[in-house]
Chains A and B, each alone.
Chain A
Amino acid sequence: MSEKMQEKAVQAPILQVSHLKKYFPIKGGMFGKQVGAVKAVDDVSFTLEKGTTMGLVGESGCGKSTTGRTILRLIEKTDGTVLFHGQDVNALSHKEMRDMRTKMQIIFQDPYSSLSPRLPVGEIIGEAVREHNLVPKSQYQDYITKIMNDCGLQPYHKDRYPHEFSGGQRQRICIARALALNPEFVVCDEPVSALDVSVQAQIINLLKELQEKRKLTYLFISHDLSVVEHISDTVGVMYLGGLVETGRTEDIFADPLHPYTKALFSAIPMPDPDLKRNRIILEGSIPSPANPPKGCKFHTRCSQCMERCRTEVPVEKDMGNGHMVRCHLYDE
């Protein structure tokens, strides 16, 4: 990167996503013509500052994971832009993208299926490091040992295979693999939902520790709201492919504005038997993203649905302090 560009990168946020769309075609008919599209991600925009964590929450099938993957260009987007350090990720050539990949990494949900069963752990972690020539050959082994140590793995684990590890240890391997390339931005796609409570705490602590040490930026995708509250600085709530509410974690959890966010929060079971809450139970399930409802997408399940919600798509409104919401209730 030239000096000028570096200067720019310091001022600009690390990641800017604007109007990102990803439609998956539905093929049908005799000749495999496209007959429709699943709107997995439909107009998502947000920015991420360096060293912060953004939590992305929502029900399954709302497009959280697709958003993460489209940002990393693991899936090609349909429309919109993703700027990483002010550079359009989708405009990069194959070769440039290869270098960019070291800066952006992902940790997958299931540590049981995301590790190759045929490679020893040292190789899993080190393969990409060698491929990208990040460290000289003489320092390669030390480098891997250091990364493993940082992630709470022992050096003698290097020659073992993934099946010899427990779920928590495997997730540590996944984290080590992502961090070995010294990335700036990591997408954590439900990294703790397959783990037990006590192991979950270990992994969350590890992620926080590493963030402090390496100034990492996380996009933390999860459906567990308590985990998201614990780890995130900002939160985005997704429903049916679109962000309905974004803002700082304190603001959103203290004062959720969108009816969907309210319902989602009221559904969290609290470990306190005395607590009696007015639970908002959402009727039915999430509509099909291939044929989303007209107007506000949430109107089919909303308890405060008005006439205009059925026809008019709500626009994003700033309720102060960067707390954005898309709902007709806050039009005045």
Chain B
Amino acid sequence: MALFGKKNANYISSKETKRISRENRRVTGEIEKKRNRKNIPESEYLTRMKNPANVVEFDDVHTYFFTDIGTVKAVNGVSFEVPQGKTVGIVGESGCGKSVTSLSLMQLVQRPQGQTVAGEIRFNAGEKVYNIVNTPTSVMQKLRGNEMSMIFQEPMTALNPVFRIGDQVDEIVALHNPSMSREQVKERTIEMLEMVGIANSQGVYRMYPHELSGGMRQRVCIAIGLACNPKLIIADEPTTALDVTIQAQILDLMRSLKDKINSSIMLITHDLGVIAEMADYVVVMYAGRVVEKGTAQEIFKTPSHPYTIGLMRSKPVVGKQVEKLYSIPGKVPNPINMPDYCYFKDRCELSCEKCGGRYPGVIKLSPTHEVSCYRYEDRREAGWLAQVELGASGRERQQEEKGKEGARHE
């Protein structure tokens, strides 16, 4: 198709690739050099929280990936807070940057091509407040596991198959508590395994991961995550690989453990049901940006951004029969060439003339409810767009979209 006049937007000549690659190396090299200095003074990475009741504050964070075909702005100006003792849910489709946001907080983004280039991530570790973006790796290693820890999506791959469960939990406990004797470490491990609801903890201590079921493995992962009573638990799709009944067990466990050790949870998932059940606050992400945030009540009762509305309508709900499911037309824009107007405009059925302008700013609908959409500039009333009928015009648009797609090559 590329032969017919139009130039393929994705095509890049090898000369161009080389140029981008050289440029990338220059940029990332500079950042890496700065990071790899020895004896970075504390003043460079210690900071102050805006609100001391928060555990984490993301402030206009930009995490980019410098690839050979261009810069992917995976996280492009994300701001939100995680209050102490609360659960914040992050929803969005795959590729919207939810995982990269959490990896930026852990400083686990693949370096050197992935870099947090701007913004501040403030983490409240009690006595000190760290700006994660500038924190050197040696300090990070003390924070990870101790103060914040992560539960990964795939319990099958997150555990090492050649070590016993006991050894894997022991490792974390021993690493972060160097003063403990081996017996104490083992005691603590068994205690952790019991806390996450593994009945046969002595037996499991000596087992290998393949001897456990998916739910049990996820429990072990949670035990590893919680071994040092972290202030913040990042759960990256903790139940996606599990069955509903096991999911219910794990969610129940996470809720009770959170209260027990008084920590906060950052819950990343694409399942709106899980979010509704677990989260106090919800952050909706789309194409690397936060489009809407608020308390769980606000987001689920009065979803305001057209993307949130579409997302809610496209999920079938038990007990609510609909003839045809709504589906958001079009697809996520190319992450390399993001438009300069609202990223959702091309898929939005509620867009107006203003939407062609620059990316919309944040509009406060209530002290906690914020949305980035021009439609709320004149009418600051949460959820009024959700009343607008999407059905008929949506279908027409989809037809149109189909026709367009035929003419356009991807």
Contacts and interface: CB of A to CB of B under 8 A. Distances in A.
Contacts of A3: none
Given A196-B93, A267-B244, A267-B245, A201 B300 contact: no
Contacts of B316: 201, 204, 226-227, 229-230
Interface range, B side: 35 or more
Nearest to B317: A226
A264 B321 CA distance: 19
B314 interface: yes
B94 A225 contact: no
Contact of B311 (A156, A198, A226): A198
B246 interface: yes
Interface string A255-284: 000000001111111111111000101100
Given A226-B315, A229-B318, A274 B243 contact: no
B259 interface: no
Given A226-B315, A227-B316, A269 B277 contact: yes
B1 interface: yes
Contacts of A201: 314-316, 325-328
A282 B244 CA distance: 10
Interface stretch (B30-38, B72-80, B126-134, B248-256): B248-256
A205 interface: yes
Interface stretch (B17-25, B161-169, B267-275, B374-382): B267-275
A143 interface: no
Contacts of A208: 324
B337 interface: no
A128 to B, nearest CB: 26
A268 B275 CA distance: 12
A268 B272 contact: no
Contacts of B244: 59, 223, 225, 264, 267-268
A311 interface: no
A285 interface: yes
Interface string B316-347: 11110110111110010000000000000000
A266 B271 CA distance: 16
Nearest to B279: A273
B296 A263 contact: no
The 3 A-B residue pairs whose C-beta atoms are closest, nearest first, are A269-B273, A201-B314, A230-B316
Interface of A: 59-60, 152, 154-156, 164, 166, 196-202, 204-205, 208, 223, 225-227, 229-230, 253, 263-275, 279, 281-282, 285
Interface of B: 1, 93-94, 213-216, 243-249, 251-252, 270-277, 279, 296-297, 300, 310-312, 314-319, 321-322, 324-328, 331, 402, 405-406, 409-410
12 contacts: A156-B406, A197-B311, A198-B311, A223-B243, A229-B316, A264-B245, A269-B251, A271-B272, A271-B315, A272-B276, A282-B248, A285-B246
